[in-house]
Structure 1
């Protein structure tokens, strides 16, 4: 992985900022004010306390469509951004969430708004990805029109630059070392949490950062899907299913799912059928992800397991991924009316294809997921861990 300040890191940061500036201009905005730690990283190449900052608006960046980027850093941490070429100026953040400002929240929000408006230099259209009502009122009271900054950032992030793809490939490779470590450690008698810890360890040791979910379950806890790992002891011959959902090397997310037999024994007929149904769903839906295909057409044509095996708990056919799960989300036809939207598959997208075979009321489920790059010739698999019930 390239280190901060290296030529590769500078190229990565520059390529992302160029895409973001273009998206800000396309949205008709003068600048973007970014609080989401993922968006701040995308724009500036800097990272600090991302999990804490995702809950507490303690650092942010102002990114003009044309002009210098100003990073507002958590007080006392200004030195962390030294040498980042995307950041022209670092200022201490003005925090006005209740924990730090208490009864002075409105006072601090006014100070914050005056500074932001001054930096806009007469601009009136500001894309903001996250903002409490107090802040919105303070900006609008000063003549600023607030736009949806998350949509702006998502449109920029949907296509990966060449510099990004190099890091994505390294992140996937490191994650799959963790998957291999989990498989080597798996044995009946250990708890789900003990097995899951192997992926955490491998991710941190490789330079990764954190896991967004705790999706590893065994036996009856695999169905329904979305239960989190627990102190349950893994039994012999049980299915063990997981979803990596990690923020890995370079801050890039890897989202891969596999389902195994806990002791490598021969699967039962029911277990094999579930795995085959999920694998068919994965393969057939991956083939739909070709440049120019519309999201709604994919939703209409997407394969779902047959009645008795299909579960409504997993709506996704595929979703985008970069520094985290991101635009687009393509849902299957059961969920289009409630959550579907249209768009188009484009070269340079990185997508995760989901599959789940989970009989309603059944004893076990199989979860599979692959990460692919959309090329001019179609989807290219990025994940290479064996796709097998008994690897």
Structure 2
């Protein structure tokens, strides 16, 4: 590496460390704010993404998402108690955090077998002791995720459980400028993967061969994991939500993907694009599908503004033609942060059964979605743009282009 490249890398590292320091303080303060609003002394976190948000610690996120083996209690005054997985206290090193570390008690069947209920009682006794030591005479505790034995033990001991997941979603919904910097770093890593896929896209390789290039660039740039395997080609692009397979790509057919990539520093890059295999000129039908999806995304982006309600946005959103309505995407737009986050905006046709109201605020980062494919059609187009909402509208966070030559 040349001397100037070494200096640039050191400058970038210093800048990122300074940004992380400010982001950690901002995020913990957001959690405290939600606790105070709910008049709740503390929140118990098991969701690894919530733990990452509140403490910036990460330990085998996918594994601990299935195996609840580490947990954290955050108090409204900012005090943190961390129960860490076996011999993993080192993951907390380097953090300027007022934290007391303890050993986690695992009481799932995997960890405890038929002794799970007894261990859950031991676990709950410690949780209650910590709560009442730091918040005397308090019985309210917010919890984001808890298995049945644990919830039952706490309730039987007189603890009133509150919806901690809602508190965390609201805390996470507004991104500081420094958080947006970190998100852009993740998006840049994702764009490297998209660029690599674009270069390698040719007839004869499999969907899985192509998808591996995104994973490669993510890990290479310090990224973490990918939530889905949403890449499909040809007739597997319709309907959407078919994960990548060993299918061999064919010349001239459509290839569509959705990155769902958790990149550097734990922030998600969620971008969808559709190409032709071999980068051929699209057919008239392919072009029509693409133009329709492009229109939906960009019309809805032009609507977004701070102060607009979710219902108003849904009512005014681009109207999907009848031919494509049945196969519509599950939402018009959704929040994005470390993963998909609040809010999720329902289509007007789905509002009565799946919609909820709220208000867009400056600082929200969102993904504007489209899937266009006719019921029974041979192919479909998936597009998605990641944006940040400002006082003046929304701004794209990615420079990854669309196939404007098809329009």
Question: Into which bin does the TM-score normalised by the smaller protein fall?
Answer: over 0.9
The CA distance in 2 between the partners of 1:4 and 1:31, in whole Å, is 32
Structure 2 counterpart of 1:131, from 129, 132, 146: 146
Structure 2 counterpart of 1:235, from 245, 250, 253: 250
- Tell me, yes or no, if the aligned pair for 1:256 and 1:370 is still in contact at 8 Å: yes
The CA distance in 1 between the partners of 2:15 and 2:118, in whole Å, is 37
Q: Provide closer, same or farther for how the CA distance between residues 281 and 357 of structure 1 changes in structure 2, counting only shifts above 3 A.
A: same
Structure 2 equivalent of residue 248 of structure 1: 263
- Work out whether 1:29 is the aligned partner of 2:40: yes
- Work out whether 1:198 is the aligned partner of 2:213: yes
- Tell me, yes or no, if the aligned pair for 1:62 and 1:70 is still in contact at 8 Å: yes
Q: CA deviation at 1:192?
A: 0.5
- Tell me, yes or no, if the aligned pair for 2:46 and 2:144 is still in contact at 8 Å: yes
Q: CA deviation at 1:248?
A: 0.6
Structure 1 equivalent of residue 274 of structure 2: 259
Q: Provide closer, same or farther for how the CA distance between residues 2 and 340 of structure 1 changes in structure 2, counting only shifts above 3 A.
A: farther
Q: Quick check: 304-313 or 1-10, which moved more?
A: 1-10
Structure 1 counterpart of 2:235, from 220, 226, 233: 220
Helix, strand or coil at the partner of 1:237: coil
Q: Which ranges in structure 2 are unaligned for 5 or more consecutive residues?
A: 1-11
Helix, strand or coil at the partner of 1:316: coil
Structure 1 equivalent of residue 64 of structure 2: 53
Q: Provide closer, same or farther for how the CA distance between residues 5 and 320 of structure 1 changes in structure 2, counting only shifts above 3 A.
A: closer
Alignment of 1:89-104 (within 5 A): 89-104=100-115
Q: TM-score, normalised by structure 2?
A: 0.93
- Work out whether 1:176 is the aligned partner of 2:191: yes
Q: CA deviation at 1:310?
A: 3.3
Q: CA deviation at 1:7?
A: 3.2
Q: CA deviation at 1:304?
A: 3.3
Structure 1 equivalent of residue 370 of structure 2: 355
Q: Provide closer, same or farther for how the CA distance between residues 176 and 277 of structure 1 changes in structure 2, counting only shifts above 3 A.
A: same
- Deviations for 1:161-215, whole angstroms, at most 9, x for unmatched residues? 1221110111111111110000001101100000000001011101111110011
Helix, strand or coil at the partner of 2:289: helix
- Tell me, yes or no, if the aligned pair for 1:259 and 1:389 is still in contact at 8 Å: no
The CA distance in 2 between the partners of 1:390 and 1:81, in whole Å, is 50
The CA distance in 2 between the partners of 1:67 and 1:294, in whole Å, is 32
Q: Write 1 or 2 for the structure with the bigger share of helix.
A: 2
- Tell me, yes or no, if the aligned pair for 2:203 and 2:251 is still in contact at 8 Å: yes
- Deviations for 1:314-343, whole angstroms, at most 9, x for unmatched residues? 121100000100100001112111110000
Helix, strand or coil at the partner of 1:14: helix
- Work out whether 1:88 is the aligned partner of 2:99: yes
Q: Provide closer, same or farther for how the CA distance between residues 52 and 390 of structure 1 changes in structure 2, counting only shifts above 3 A.
A: farther
The CA distance in 1 between the partners of 2:119 and 2:181, in whole Å, is 42
Q: Which ranges in structure 1 are unaligned for 5 or more consecutive residues?
A: none
Aligned length: 391
Structure 2 equivalent of residue 44 of structure 1: 55
The CA distance in 2 between the partners of 1:310 and 1:269, in whole Å, is 20
The CA distance in 1 between the partners of 2:398 and 2:354, in whole Å, is 28
Runs of 4+ in 1 over 4 A off after TM superposition: 1-5
Q: TM-score, normalised by structure 1?
A: 0.97
- Tell me, yes or no, if the aligned pair for 2:208 and 2:244 is still in contact at 8 Å: yes
Structure 2 counterpart of 1:109, from 120, 127, 132: 120
Q: Quick check: 1-10 or 140-149, which moved more?
A: 1-10
Q: Provide closer, same or farther for how the CA distance between residues 138 and 215 of structure 1 changes in structure 2, counting only shifts above 3 A.
A: same
Q: Provide closer, same or farther for how the CA distance between residues 3 and 35 of structure 1 changes in structure 2, counting only shifts above 3 A.
A: farther
Structure 1 equivalent of residue 287 of structure 2: 272
**CA-atom RMSD, angstroms?**
1.6
